[in-house]
Amino acid sequence: MRVALFATCLVDGLFPDVARATVRLLRRLGHQVEFRQEQSCCGQMHLNTGYPAEALPLIRRQVEVFADCEAIVAPSGSCTGAIRHQYADTARRFGDERLAVAAEAVAARTYELSEFLVDVTGVTDVGGYFPHRVTYHPTCHSLRLLRVGDKPLALLRAVEGIDLVELPGAESCCGFGGTFALKNSAVSAAMLADKVAAVAATAASVCSAGDSSCLMHIGGGLSRLRVGARTMHLAEILASTRTEPALV
């Protein structure tokens, strides 16, 4: 399948390893991957902070860039969620019905990574190898907005050598919430402290999730509190093989 990668702005600028791993994984599974340099940001931050007018040009750009793609894959639950649940509605609010229709078409072909693998390609065993103790945090937007359910866990379970341990209180929010982390930093920190304690309790060496934004937040807490665990995106674990193992 021809797959257009939507790297997301955060991954592009700060976590390129995640996008590289996504490319490697998709190619290994036989897909042709393209990356369109015109892409930038889905506009989620603007939308969720209450700046829909500033988000609108980003929505328009995203829709134009990906209009003719067969499948668009993003290593992010929350960006996929914004595209799927907020684009058309925002376009209509500004009276742009044509954009709304185009956005619906793009949204229908935009998938979060685990959705694409399990739902579109029907694969749960991606042939990964990752001999480490891993715990998985289901991010709120993949859990409750996209309803990916246990697809990411099914993918992880099939990875050879993995020691997957359940995260206590897994479904409670890590406290990131985009600009919430700044505007309500004390509450965010309190939520993070509980999440970090839960990760520490698993004695996992890796905490994984499907969103680099939440992982940046959790990782910042793990590092600050010197919990001996690091964060890795789901894509990085799935991309890891015996011949090209990911470093932990």
Partner 1 sequence: MTYLGMPTAPAGVGQLRGTESFPAAAETALANGQLRRNLANATSTIRAKRAAVVSEVPDWQQLRAAAAAIKDDVLANLDSYLVQLEARVTEQGGVVHWARDATEANRIVTELVAATGAREVVKVKSMATQEIGLNQALEEAGILAYETDLAELIVQLGDDRPSHILVPAIHRNRTEIRDIFLAEMAGVHPGLTDDPPALAEAARTYLRQKFLTAKVAISGANFAIADTGTLMVVESEGNGRMCLTLPRTLITVMGIEKLLPTFSDLEVFLQLLPRSSTGERMNPYTSMWTGVHPGDGPQEFHLVLLDNGRTATLADDRGRAALRCIRCSACLNVCPVYERTGGHAYGSVYPGPIGAVLSPQLTGVADNPSLPFASTLCGACYDVCPVAIDIPSMLVHLRGRVNADKAAGHRLPVPEAAGMAAASWAMRGRRRWAWLLRAARLGRWARLARLSRSRTARRLLPPPLSSWTRSRDLPEPPAQTFRDWWAEQR
Residues at the interface with partner 1 (CB under 8 A): 7, 9, 11-17, 19-20, 35, 37-38, 40-41, 43, 45-52, 54-55, 57-58, 61, 85-86, 140-141, 143-145, 171-173, 175-193, 216-217, 219-221, 223-224
Q: What CA–CA distance (Å, rounded) separates 54 from 68?
A: 24
Helices H, strands E: what count in the chain?
A: 14, 8
Nearest distance, CB of residue 36 and partner 1, angstroms: 10
Q: Would you say 124 or 144 has its CB closer to partner 1? A: 144
Minimal distance in Å, beta carbon 64 to partner 1? 11
Closest to partner 1 by CB, 55 or 162: 55
Which residue, 45 or 162, has its beta carbon nearer to partner 1?
A: 45
CA distance from start to end of the chain:
31
CA-wise closest residue to 14 among 32, 49, 41: 41
User: Between residues 43 and 128, which has the closer beta carbon with respect to partner 1?
Assistant: 43
Amino acid sitting at position 27 = R
Say if residues 205 and 229 touch (Cβ distance below 8 Å): yes
- Rounded Cα gap, residues 62 and 58, in angstroms: 6
Please say whether the beta carbons of 29 and 126 come within 8 A.
Answer: yes
**Residue 57 or 161 with smaller CB distance to partner 1:** 57
Task: Give the shortest CB-160-to-partner 1 separation in angstroms.
Answer: 27
Report the distance separating Cα 126 and Cα 25, nearest Å. 8
CB of 177 to partner 1, least distance (A): 3
Name the DSSP letter for residue 116.
I
Q: Is the distance from CB of 62 to CB of 110 less than 8 angstroms?
A: no
Residue 183 Cβ, how far from partner 1 at the closest point, in Å? Answer: 5
In the complex, the smallest distance separating the C-beta of residue 78 from partner 1, rounded to whole angstroms, is: 9
